[in-house]
Amino acid sequence: MNRLQDKVVIITGGAGGIGRMAGKLFVEEGAYVLLVDLDEAALKDAVAEIGSNAASYFVADVTSAADNDAMVAAAEERYGGVDGLLANAGIEGDVKSIADYDEARFDQVMAINVKGPFLGIKSVTPAMQRRGGGSVVITSSVAGLTGTPNLSAYTTSKHAVIGLMRSAAKELAPLGIRVNTVNPSPVETLMMRRLEAGIGGEENAEMVRAGMAERIPLHRYANPDDIARSMLYLVSDDSAFVTGSVNVVDGGMTA
């Protein structure tokens, strides 16, 4: 349908399951895509998987203001501007009680999951202004809507980006920049494999997975494509009047 025809979209966490699926889908819809991550080998693999010269990669640390500025400059240099930012980079942290949670690890989760989107918005705003507007989509989670025991850092970070999104949506609306979150349930990604093992141990990971899937009314995890299609809607002009919204893609988990 070419819903993103000639739009330029930066995707952080571009080497992960959701990021690379979004990149593939966006290119199919006519976009130029810059995948951003720290893992260059995985980025090369993601670009090869997309299989189009409309996709390229940039190695950057989302917690660095300079790196965020550099990724935006790269997108403008390669493709002429920036129309969309998918602030998707994130880590799950540790599965531990608050009493046992390492302070440095908490800070790392907050830096990547919250400071990263903040710096991304800060860096991309002038570029989007030059294009007459744009769309920012932040990956939150169902963990941003409810409490989750033994995942304090991750849960806190995913609540925090909803506050960031709501503030940014009101602040940037006069500039024609829309800001929304996508809040997935568990998704078939390596992050969930690590969480399953962290919750139940490697020996019980499959049992944990089955239990989580049973809590979802549709009785399955989301596929990366399920999440990427919601992101496509929010980046595209189909959602031209949608900003400041929390978009839950969870198979009914939080209903």
> Which residues are known to be catalytic?
154
Sheet harboring 32-37: ordered strands across?
Answer: 55-59, 32-37, 8-12, 84-87, 134-139, 177-184, 246-249
CA 252 – CA 120 distance, rounded (Å):
30
Residue type, position 129, single letter = Q
What count of other Cβ atoms lies within 10 Å of the Cβ of residue 191? 18
CB 142 within 8 A of CB 253: yes
- Listed residue (176, 192, 183) closest to 162, CA to CA: 183
Q: Is residue 37 within 8 Å of residue 16, measured between CB atoms?
A: yes
Residue 115 contacts residue 89 (beta carbons within 8 Å): no
Q: Cα–Cα–Cα angle for 191, 197, 201, nearest 5°?
A: 170
What's 151's DSSP letter? B
Axis-axis angle for helices 152-172, 103-110 (nearest 10): 30
CA distances from 249 to 112, 116, 161, 212, 233 (A): 22, 22, 16, 15, 12
Instruction: Report residue 75 as tokens.
Output: 């997108």
